[in-house]
Amino acid sequence: MLSVRPAPALPAAAAALALTGVAFTAPAAASAAGPSRAVAQSYAHRSYVVDGTLGKRHFALTGPKAVARGSDGSTITAFGLVLADSGDGTGQAVLLFRGTRFLGWASDRLQLHLRVTGSGRAISVKYGAYSGDDPFCCPSKTKTVHYRWRAGRIVADAAPPLIYGKRGTKIHLSS
């Protein structure tokens, strides 16, 4: 189950986050408010995975946005996603922005059981960590990864967990 908890309102600041480990140059001035829900929804619809049986599958937003502040004072925003045709909540991801600029996902792979929060200088994503015979409903552990904006790029303090020992399906962005 994906749940997103809103962060407390933060003072205005700037641009968008990136895929974990991918560097981007910080713009001179960034948008203070972050992306609108409509803009985030457009990126959710453009995000997709290719399923061997079902073909191309797109995402929809779920829950409110989470907000944090980058080390440079910019606004970092995250939105939870779930596959739009998922009846059971499988196939989740997190969109990351710095100001109004979309930079990617917290992980470029599908995940399960996400919870997104923002506080202080970090967007935190709590991942379900499945192992052995864990049922889909109930991962035996969780792993929290903190995403921070530092020196012109997003930095994760750990890698997201594998799903039953495997990487999730790769996420793509259509034009």
Domain ranges of the chain: 3-173
Q: Which of 23-27, 107-111, 143-147, 165-169 shows the lowest per-residue confidence on average (mean pLDDT)?
A: 23-27
Q: Which of 31-40, 51-60, 82-91, 143-152 shows the lowest per-residue confidence on average (mean pLDDT)?
A: 31-40
Smallest Cα–Cα separation from 40: which of 90, 98, 115? 98
User: What are the respective helix, strand and coil percentages of the chain, to the nearest 5?
Assistant: 5, 45, 50
pLDDT, tens only, 122-133: 999 999 999 888
- Tell me the residue type at 166: K
Could you tell me the two tokens for 143? Answer: 């792993």
Q: What is the Cα–Cα distance from 107 to 157, expressed in whole angstroms?
A: 13
- Tell me the residue type at 169: T
Smallest Cα–Cα separation from 16: which of 156, 152, 151? 152
Residue range 9-18: mean pLDDT, rounded: 29
Could you give the C-alpha distances from 110 to 89, 99, 137, in angstroms and in order? 11, 24, 16
Contact 79, 94 (CB under 8 A): yes
167 Cβ neighbours under 8 A, 6+ residues apart: 109
12 pLDDT above the threshold of 60: no
